């Protein structure tokens, strides 16, 4: 165990002594460059003094960051921002961060700023490169080398060795993915400056051997909103969040889930992926702050076994090097293992591991603002969630409820006791860690590159060797639009997909020409397998940090066949760039039938044709040899108009000579609202995102609008997305601590008050809000509750016959995909579904029960299982046999529990979904359950709500 006396003192003067040597080397190496002004004059004494003052204990700094060189003509962060990095009570807005990097790039040939896209709110997204003059001048050449190593099919091993000898690894660093984790985006500015100008042997080695690339702020919209919130509220707080509330939004749609965006729905994440596939950095390192004092990720179990074993050896190697170095510098509290696992491929930096590189991650001690605050690490022997994958929240850490003060084999020198923690401490830890990671990389650049190459090569060879040789997505599936979504999501990630040019005869069966084929002998075959296969836990006793499963064929409810027959590798295919469906309209006239085969685009079609008459057929009908299932539209309108709406949506329409002879009802778009608490905006955000993408018009409402009352005069349908976990929180939301907390725009705080505003976000809708929901329903409104929000109608009396319970403490299932059984197939909610059993994602919502009217105290129940009321439209069969992918411990607990319940109330109804049919842009196959509910809101009325029962099926 290291001594508490700071051994780093031994290195005093380390950097200044070697400065002269470095400078000499620099002027030689830049002799022939246009810009040679990069002469380091001396260390900045003002910086050293300030950093010493802001660092709350000597051991919270290191010899790597306690000084900063001055370089003539090259602006330090203070020269542009007006303060050194890490000054208490100073946070930088995104525009100023960009301003700094641009000023730095303008002053030195060692820095380049590359625009890569635009955020949801219009902020420019960039990647900043830092390296030796020569590296930056020849960036394109180095990009080319990495691209070659990334696809070894075109390389002999000898050529690869040549390229490795010439290439340099790109090490990508990313800050600000989570807007409340403010420190790294500040630190990275100082790091960029230091790597560009410092001439210590260490930094010079980094600069020469590695190309550093930086995402300054991964979610810049959220950054600005969080900085606004900090200056409005946080700056005056002395002990954490005394206001009791954080800013209601980071990005436009999501908070932390930008790190769970497995399908890259958010434009910021997509821009980085597109950049990644151009540049192939072998390492991507995300900088977070939620652990004490610095956690460095090494990929604990459960690990996805599809990834290369080299990766699992590399991860702890680098983490252990950092842990040893920082401990040597005298910095306590550096640890690895015991936090995040390697199961879900959806974390942002996983884009690197998914493509044969390496994900890295830090969690650095910090706060959501820049105040210096007391940290209480409490009893080192307290029990806690270590090794469980559970996520201790910042409040728990601050309150000392976490046991990160405890020594473990993976935490040889914990921080203990009570001390002040400052933004500069966070900078010191983060920057020392990153410089150490870069030290490692610059010491072994060829090893990093070789490994990247070999992992890429292994991916292809493993694919040729292993039992699964590929996947076929058969042609002729009912709904082509979800097939297109699936194929395009694979293509977006760089996975090669081919279209069979002839019929395929494989051991698994025959597949028609036009089927999509994913072969395993390709560089990104591992990712294809990870995304397409059924998830089976290597060890069912482990827990995961995030989702248990994501199998894309199940999530999209498309048919994907796993193929063992190696003949698939030789199948003749033409490469698919992107699937662009063009729908078809046949015949002419003024009435068109549009088949509802489960496309999510049906609701978009209705929205685009909102001024024309659209009816839904309540039974299947035929026209010529085409069959139109129940739910198909009959659209009145001229052919040109219908064609322009149908074709881009990939739907098919056929002209009808006369109305189909089956019962029909009007498809009326409701006046729609989406209800959000002020603390649960992220889960609501995913529903908003889906509605926006499918062009579903809605109002986003909060307690303010609900309490105003008279909801029925404004809305026909109110959707309450899954959010906040319990009915009580849904009703009472953020605790009031006496002082109103406003979320409003002002001249000073321009980024607050977006996506809704409030004079006081605390207090929730309260019981008067519940009463307004009840009045809305009784007056004819349709209230739709999703996932955990379905506790609300059951527990607050909106649906007196429905009870809601929770699974036991032994039950564990972070989002398994399970069977759901449709019990009332004639309900409009199931239009487009042609199977009785469909895959559904388990959302840890309520276990619902419907009271059947029998009084258990006085009535003798009839023998056999109780009948299932007609109001249960869908249910979970439960049991292990019905778990399709991922893990569900205690699957019997959900046996025959209702999945969708329809309850009439007054003139309206409440429709409770126990699951979440609109989850993180993933379960496209379930979206239609919600979309159908919205489209047919005034025609769902069946006998369902009556108390009559039918025998269980």
Site track for Zn ion across 236-275, x = CB under 5 A? ----------------------------------------
Tell me the window of 283-291, 542-550, 552-560, 729-737 that interacts with Zn ion (CB under 5 A): 283-291
How far is the CA of 66 from the CAs of 62, 80, 282, 870, in angstroms? Answer: 6, 20, 30, 71
Which of residues 181 and 268 has its CB atom nearest to Zn ion in the complex? 181
CB of 311 to Zn ion, least distance (A): 22
Please identify, using beta-carbon distances, which residue of 194 and 288 lies nearer to Zn ion: 288
Beta carbons of 491 and 264 less than 8 angstroms apart: no
Residue 872 · residue 850 · CB < 8 Å: yes
Q: Which is nearer to Zn ion, 181 or 821 (CB)?
A: 181
By CB under 5 A, name the one of 288, 688, 703, 897 that touches Zn ion. Answer: 288
576: which residues sit within 8 A by CB, 6+ positions away? 487, 491, 497, 498, 499, 516
Residue 20 has a CB neighbour count (10 Å cut-off) of 11
Nearest to 248 by CA among 652, 683, 650: 683
Residue nearest to Zn ion according to CB distances in the complex = 288
E strands present in 637-779: 652-655, 664-666, 672-675, 699-701, 717-720
Q: Which is nearer to Zn ion, 123 or 178 (CB)?
A: 178
Query: How far apart, in whole angstroms, are the C-alpha atoms of residue 168 and residue 143?
Result: 9
Nearer to Zn ion, 78 or 288 (CB): 288
Closer CB to Zn ion, residue 178 or residue 526?
178
Q: Site size for Zn ion, by CB under 5 A?
A: 3
Q: How many CA atoms lie within 13 A of 219 on its CB side?
A: 29
Residue window 159-178: x/- pattern of binding to Zn ion, with contact defined by CB under 5 A: -------------------x
To Zn ion, the closest distance from the beta carbon of 433 in angstroms equals 15
Provide the b/e sequence for 262-293 (b: ≥16 CB within 10 Å). bbbbbbbbbbbbebbbebbbbbbbbbbbbbbb
Q: Which is nearer to Zn ion, 179 or 265 (CB)?
A: 179
Q: How far is the CB of 333 from Zn ion (least distance, A)?
A: 18
Kindly tell me which of 181 and 733 has the beta carbon lying closer to Zn ion: 181
Angle between helices 423-443 and 445-465 (to 10 degrees): 70
Burial of 391 from C-beta contacts in 10 A (0-12 / 13-18 / 19+): middle
| Residue 218: CB minimum distance to Zn ion, A | 10
Q: Shortest distance, CB of residue 696 to Zn ion, whole angstroms? A: 31
Within 175-214, the residues that bind Zn ion by CB under 5 A are: 178, 181
- Give the helix/strand (H/E) hosting 693: helix 681-693
The tokens describing 668, both together, are: 């009326």
Minimum distance, C-beta of residue 287 to Zn ion, in the bound complex (Å): 8
DSSP β-ladder status, 300-303 and 341-342: parallel
Q: Which string of DSSP letters, residue by residue, matches 401-424?
A: -S-TTS-BTTBSS---SEEEE-HH
Helices (H), 233-295: 267-279
For residue 736, give the DSSP letter.
Answer: P
Nearer to Zn ion, 261 or 774 (CB): 261
Q: How far is the CB of 309 from Zn ion (least distance, A)?
A: 28
Least distance from Zn ion to the Cβ atom of residue 286, Å: 8
- Please say which residue, 186 or 893, places its beta carbon nearer to Zn ion: 186
Q: At closest approach, how far in Å is the CB of 362 from Zn ion?
A: 10
* Beta carbon of residue 366, minimum distance to Zn ion (angstroms, whole number): 10
- Window of 284-292, 407-415, 902-910, 941-949 that interacts with Zn ion by CB under 5 A: 284-292
Decide: residue 657, CB within 10 A, 0-12 exposed, 13-18 middle, 19+ buried.
exposed
Give min distance, CB of 389 to Zn ion, in A.
15
User: Rule CB under 5 A: is residue 285 a binding residue for Zn ion?
Assistant: no
Burial annotation 494-506 (CB, 10 A radius, 16+ → b, else e): bbbbbbbeeebeb
Compare residues 434 and 910 and give the one whose CB is closer to Zn ion.
434
Using the rule CB under 5 A, is 519 a contact of Zn ion? no
Closer to Zn ion by CB, 288 or 882: give it: 288
State the nearest-atom distance from the C-beta of 244 to Zn ion, in Å: 21
> In sequence order, what DSSP letters do the residues of 743-768 get, joined into one string?
B---SS-TTSSTTS-BS---S-SHHH
Q: Which residues are at the interface with Zn ion (CB under 5 A)?
A: 178, 181, 288
């Amino acid at each position: 165990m290291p001594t508490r006396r700071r051994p780093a003192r031994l290195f005093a003067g380390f950097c200044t002594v070697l400065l002269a040597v470095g400078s000499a080397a620099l002027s030689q190496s830049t002799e022939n460059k246009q810009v040679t002004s990069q002469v380091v004059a001396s260390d900045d004494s003002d910086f050293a003094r300030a950093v010493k003052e802001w660092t709350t204990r000597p051991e919270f700094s290191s010899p790597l960051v306690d000084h900063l060189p001055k370089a003539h003509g090259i602006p330090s962060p203070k020269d542009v921002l007006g303060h050194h990095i890490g000054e208490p009570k100073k946070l930088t807005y995104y525009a100023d961060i960009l301003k700094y990097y641009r000023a730095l790039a303008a002053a030195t040939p060692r820095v380049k700023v590359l625009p890569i896209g635009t955020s949801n709110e219009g902020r420019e997204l960039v990647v900043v490169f830092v390296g030796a003059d020569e590296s930056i001048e020849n960036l394109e050449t180095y990009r080319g080398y990495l691209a070659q190593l990334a696809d070894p099919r075109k390389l002999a091993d000898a050529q690869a060795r040549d390229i490795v000898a010439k290439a340099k690894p790109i090490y990508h660093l990313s800050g600000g993915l989570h807007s409340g984790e403010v420190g790294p985006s500040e630190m990275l500015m100082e790091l960029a400056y230091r790597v560009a100008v410092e001439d210590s042997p260490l930094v010079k080695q980094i600069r020469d051997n590695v190309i550093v690339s930086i995402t300054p702020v991964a979610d810049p919209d959220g950054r600005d909103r969080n900085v606004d919130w900090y200056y409005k509220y946080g700056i005056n707080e002395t002990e954490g969040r005394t206001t009791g509330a954080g800013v209601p939004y980071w990005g436009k749609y999501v908070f932390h889930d930008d790190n769970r965006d497995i399908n890259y729905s958010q434009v910021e994440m997509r821009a980085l992926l597109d950049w990644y596939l151009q540049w192939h950095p072998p390492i991507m390192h995300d900088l977070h702050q939620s652990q004490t004092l610095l956690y460095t990720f090494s990929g604990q179990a459960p690990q996805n076994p599809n990834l290369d074993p080299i990766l699992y050896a590399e991860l702890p190697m680098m983490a252990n090097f950092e842990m040893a170095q920082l401990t040597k510098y005298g910095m306590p509290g550096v640890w690895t293992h015991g936090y995040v696992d390697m199961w879900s491929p959806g974390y942002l930096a996983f884009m690197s591991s998914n493509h044969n590189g390496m994900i890295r991650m830090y969690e650095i001690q910090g706060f959501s603002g820049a105040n210096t605050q007391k940290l209480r690490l409490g009893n080192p022997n307290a029990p806690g969630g270590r090794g469980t994958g559970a996520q201790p929240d910042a409040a728990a850490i601050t309150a000392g409820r976490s046991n990160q003060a405890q020594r473990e084999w993976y935490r040889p020198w914990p921080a203990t006791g009570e001390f002040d923690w400052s933004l500069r401490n966070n900078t010191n830890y983060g920057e020392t860690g990153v410089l150490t990671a870069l030290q490692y990389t610059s010491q072994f650049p060829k090893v990093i590159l070789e490994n990247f190459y070999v992992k890429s090569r292994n991916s292809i060879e493993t694919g040729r060797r292993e039992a699964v040789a590929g996947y076929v997505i058969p042609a002729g599936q009912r709904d082509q639009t979800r097939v297109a979504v699936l194929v395009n999501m694979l293509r977006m990630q760089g996975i090669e997909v081919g279209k069979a040019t002839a019929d395929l005869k494989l051991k698994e069966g025959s597949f028609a020409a036009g089927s999509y084929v994913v072969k395993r002998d390709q560089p990104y075959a591992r990712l294809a397998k990870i995304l397409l296969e059924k998830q089976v836990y290597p060890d069912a006793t482990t827990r995961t940090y995030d989702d248990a499963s994501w199998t894309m064929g199940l999530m999209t409810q498309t048919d994907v066949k796993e193929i063992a027959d190696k003949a698939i590798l030789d199948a003749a295919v033409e490469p698919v760039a992107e699937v662009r469906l063009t729908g078809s309209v046949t015949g002419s006239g003024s009435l068109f039938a549009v088949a509802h085969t489960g496309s999510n685009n049906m609701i978009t079609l209705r929205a685009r044709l909102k001024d024309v008459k659209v009816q839904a057929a309540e039974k299947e009908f035929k026209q010529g040899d085409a069959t139109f299932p129940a739910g198909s539209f009959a659209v009145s309108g001229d052919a040109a108009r219908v064609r322009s709406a149908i074709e881009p949506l990939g739907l098919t329409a056929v002209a009808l000579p006369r109305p189909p002879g089956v019962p029909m009802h009007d498809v009326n778009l409701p006046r729609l609202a989406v209800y959000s608490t002020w603390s649960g905006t992220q889960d609501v955000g995913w529903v908003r995102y889906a509605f926006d993408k499918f062009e579903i018009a809605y109002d986003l409402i909060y307690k303010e609008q609900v309490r105003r009352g008279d909801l029925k005069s404004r809305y026909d349908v109110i959707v309450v997305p899954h959010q906040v976990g319990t009915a009580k929180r849904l009703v009472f939301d953020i605790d009031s601590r006496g002082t109103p907390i406003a979320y409003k725009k002002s001249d000073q705080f321009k980024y607050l008050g977006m996506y809704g505003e409030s004079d006081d976000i605390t207090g929730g809708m309260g019981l008067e809000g519940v009463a307004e929901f009840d009045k809305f329903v009784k007056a004819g409104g349709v209230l739709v509750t999703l996932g955990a929000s379905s506790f609300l109608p059951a527990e607050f009396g909106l649906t007196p016959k429905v009870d809601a319970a929770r699974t036991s403490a032994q039950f564990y299932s972070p989002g398994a995909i399970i069977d759901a059984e449709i019990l009332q197939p004639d309900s409009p909610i199931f239009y487009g579904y042609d199977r009785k059993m469909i895959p559904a994602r388990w959302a840890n919502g309520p276990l619902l029960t419907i009271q059947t009217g029998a009084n258990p105290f006085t009535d003798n129940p009839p023998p056999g299982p109780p009948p299932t009321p007609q109001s249960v439209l869908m249910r979970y069969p439960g049991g292990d046999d019905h778990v399709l992918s991922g893990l569900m411990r205690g699957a019997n607990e959900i046996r025959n529990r209702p999945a969708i319940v329809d309850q009439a109330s007054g003139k309206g109804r409440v429709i409770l979904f126990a699951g979440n049919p609109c989850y993180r842009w993933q379960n496209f196959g379930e979206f239609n359950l919600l979309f159908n509910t919205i489209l047919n809101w005034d025609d769902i009325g069946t006998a369902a709500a009556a108390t009559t029962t039918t025998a269980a099926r």
